[in-house]
Structure 1
Amino acid sequence: MCSKHYLKALVEQQKKGVPRGIYSACSANEYVIEAVMERALKDNEYILIEATANQVNQFGGYTGMKPADFRDFVYSLARKVNFPVDKIILGGDHLGPLTWKNEPAASAMQKSQELIKQYVMAGFNKIHIDTSMNLADDPQNCQIDTAVIAERGAMLCKESEIAFAKLQAVNPRAVHPVYIVGSEVPIPGGSQEAEEGLHITKALDFENTVAAFKEAFQLHGLANAWNNVIGVVVQPGVEFGDETIHEYSRSAAQELTQALKKYPGIIFEGHSTDYQTPQALKEMVEDGIAILKVGPALTFAMREGLFALRHMEAELFRYRPEIEQSQFIEVLDSFMVRNPENWRMHYYGDSAKIRYARKYSFSDRCRYYVPVPEVKDSINRLVMNLSSVDIPLTLINQFMPIQYNKIRSGLLKKDPENLLKDRIINCIDDYMYATKL
Structure 2
Amino acid sequence: MKLSLADLAGTRATPTPRGLVSVCSAHPLVLRATLRHARDTETTALIEATCNQVNHHGGYTGMTPADFAELTRRIAREEGCDEALILLGGDHLGPNPWRDRPAEEALAEAGRMVADYVAAGFSKLHLDASMGCAGEPEQTDDDLAAERAARLAATAEDAAKTAGLPPPHYVIGTEVPPPGGADHAVDAVTPTAPEAARRTIDVHRDVFAKAGLEEAFERVVAAVVQPGVEFGVSGVAIYDPEAAAGLSALLDDRPDLVFEAHSTDYQGEAPLAALVRTGFQILKVGPELTFVMREALYALDAIAADLLPERKGRALFAAMESAMQGDPRHWKRHYADSEAHWQRHYAFSDRIRYYWPGAQHALDDLFHAIEGRRIPLPLLMQHAPWALSAADTPLDPAAFVMDRIRVSLDAYHAAAKDIS
Normalising TM by the smaller chain, what interval? over 0.9
1:159 has 2:155 as partner:
yes
Q: How many residues align?
A: 418
Task: Tell me the distance in 1 between the aligned counterparts of 2:232 and 2:334.
Answer: 9
Q: Does 1:40 align with 2:21?
A: no
In the alignment, which of 334, 337, 340 is matched to residue 354 of structure 1?
Answer: 340
Residue 139 and residue 388 in structure 1: after superposition, are their counterparts in 2 closer, same or farther (change >3 A)? closer
Match of 1:198 among 185, 189, 206: 189
Q: TM-score, normalization: structure 2?
A: 0.95
- The 5-angstrom pairing of residues 31-430 of structure 1 reads 31-140=29-138, 143-168=139-164, 174-194=165-185, 198-318=189-309, 321=310, 327-350=315-338, 353-372=339-358, 375-405=359-389, 407=390, 414-430=395-411
- The structure-2 alpha-carbon separation of the partners of 1:433 and 1:413, relative to structure 1 and needing over 3 Å to count, comes to farther
Three-state SS of the structure 1 residue aligned to 2:349 is coil
In the aligned structure 1, how far is the partner of 2:187 from the partner of 2:381?
A: 39
The residue type equivalent to 1:264 in the other structure is P
CA contact (8 A) 1:326 1:382 kept: no
Q: Distance in 1 between matches of 2:137 and 2:382?
A: 55
Name stretches of at least 5 consecutive residues in structure 1 with no aligned partner.
Answer: 169-173
Q: Secondary structure at the match of 2:52?
A: coil
Q: Give the partner amino acid of 2:95.
A: P
Residue 125 of structure 1 deviates from its aligned partner by 0.3
- Structure 2: segments with no counterpart, 5+ residues: none
Partner-residue secondary structure (3-state), 1:345: helix
Shift of 1:114: 0.5
- Measured after TM superposition, the shift of residue 46 of structure 1 is 1.1
How many angstroms apart in 1 are the aligned matches of 2:78 and 2:177?
34
- Which whole-Å CA distance do the structure 2 matches of 1:37 and 1:295 have between them? 15
- Cα distance in 2 between the residues matched to 1:326 and 1:191: 30
SS in 1 for 2:60: coil
Q: Distance in 2 between matches of 1:196 and 1:156?
A: 36
Cα distance in structure 2, aligned partners of 1:63 and 1:151: 30
Structure 2: how far apart are the matches of 1:183 and 1:317? 49
Q: CA–CA distance in 2 between the matches of 1:139 and 1:50?
A: 28
Root mean square deviation of aligned Cα: 2.0
CA contact (8 A) 1:183 1:209 kept: no
Deviations 1:21-71 (A, max 9, x none): 011000000111111112222221111000000000010001000000000
Displacement, 1:17?
Answer: 5.1
Q: 1:186 to 1:195 in 2, by over 3 A?
A: closer
State the distance in 2 between where 1:197 and 1:97 align.
29
Structure 1 residues 48 and 195: CA distance shift in structure 2, 3 A? closer
User: What is the CA–CA distance in structure 1 between the aligned matches of 2:175 and 2:375, rounded to whole Å?
Assistant: 48
Shift of residue 288, structure 1, vs aligned partner = 0.6
TM-score, normalised via structure 1 length: 0.92
Other-structure match for 1:171 = none
Distance apart, 1:105 and its partner CA: 0.7
Deviations 1:114-158 (A, max 9, x none): 010000010000110011112112135xx4211011111100000
2-side partners of 1:237 and 1:68: how far apart?
34
**Seq. identity, %:** 38
In 1, are the aligned partners of 2:181 and 2:263 still within 8 Å (CA)?
yes
